[in-house]
Amino acid sequence: MNPDQTRNAEGGTRNGADRLRALNVPQRVKVQLDEQRRPTIVQRATLKDSLSVAGNGKRVESQGENWRMDDEWWRQPIVRRYVEVVLEGGGRVVLFEDLITGEWWMQKPV
């Protein structure tokens, strides 16, 4: 499922009766990769135009674990490649690539 599909104007996602707002909603980002497909620069994308870039982006200082997740293959398959990274300035985030659409997303680590 594309996380953007359930996003509303307030920046959160709502479920059921439009009363629940999901927490830790992924944010769309643009990621530059090296030749081994490792993220090197992460740039935040705005909601309006998912490909327009806000700011110059942040360099990836180090890369931690990475893993793949396949889920909900019985309805709308979700296939993601997760990478845990530390950005310049010390922020620790989790990036994932939607392997069906090729889009990159950023989330807080759990």
Partner 1 sequence: MPRNHLASSTAACCWIPLFALRCEEARRPELASQPCALLAPDASRRIWQVSPLARRAGAKPGMTVSQAIGLCPALRLCEPDPVHYDEQFARLLAALSEVSPVVEPAELGRAYVGTDGLEGLYGEPEGIVAAIERGTRKWERGTDERSSSRCSAFRVPRSALRVGWGLGKFVAWVAASRAKPGEAVIVRPGEEGKFLASQPLAVLSLDPDTHRRLRQLGIATLGRLAALPQEAVVSQFGAAGRRMWRLAAGEVVERVMGREAPEPIVAALAFFAPVADRAMLAHALDRLVERALKDPRRIGWRVQVVRVRAELEHGASWLVEATLKDPTADRDRIAAPLRTRLEQAPPAGAVERLAVEFTAFAPGTAELQLFARDASAAARAGRQHALRTALQEIQLRLKRSLLYHIIEVQPWSRLPERRYALIDYEP
Q: Which residues bind partner 1 (CB under 8 A)?
A: 3, 12-13, 15-26, 69, 71, 78, 107-108, 110
Minimum CB–partner distance for residue 56 and partner 1 (Å):
27
Tokens at residue 94, please?
């989790």
Tokens at residue 67, please?
């893993």
Give the integer Cα–Cα distance in Å for 50 and 15. 22
Residue 17 φ/ψ region, left for φ over 0, alpha for ψ in the -120 to 50 degree band, beta for the rest: alpha
Nearer to partner 1, 37 or 108 (CB): 108
Minimum CB–partner distance for residue 16 and partner 1 (Å):
4
Nearer to partner 1, 42 or 105 (CB): 105
Minimum CB–partner distance for residue 93 and partner 1 (Å):
12
Nearer to partner 1, 38 or 108 (CB): 108
Residue 83 φ/ψ region, left for φ over 0, alpha for ψ in the -120 to 50 degree band, beta for the rest: beta
Provide the 10 A C-beta neighbour count for residue 45.
20
Nearer to partner 1, 3 or 39 (CB): 3
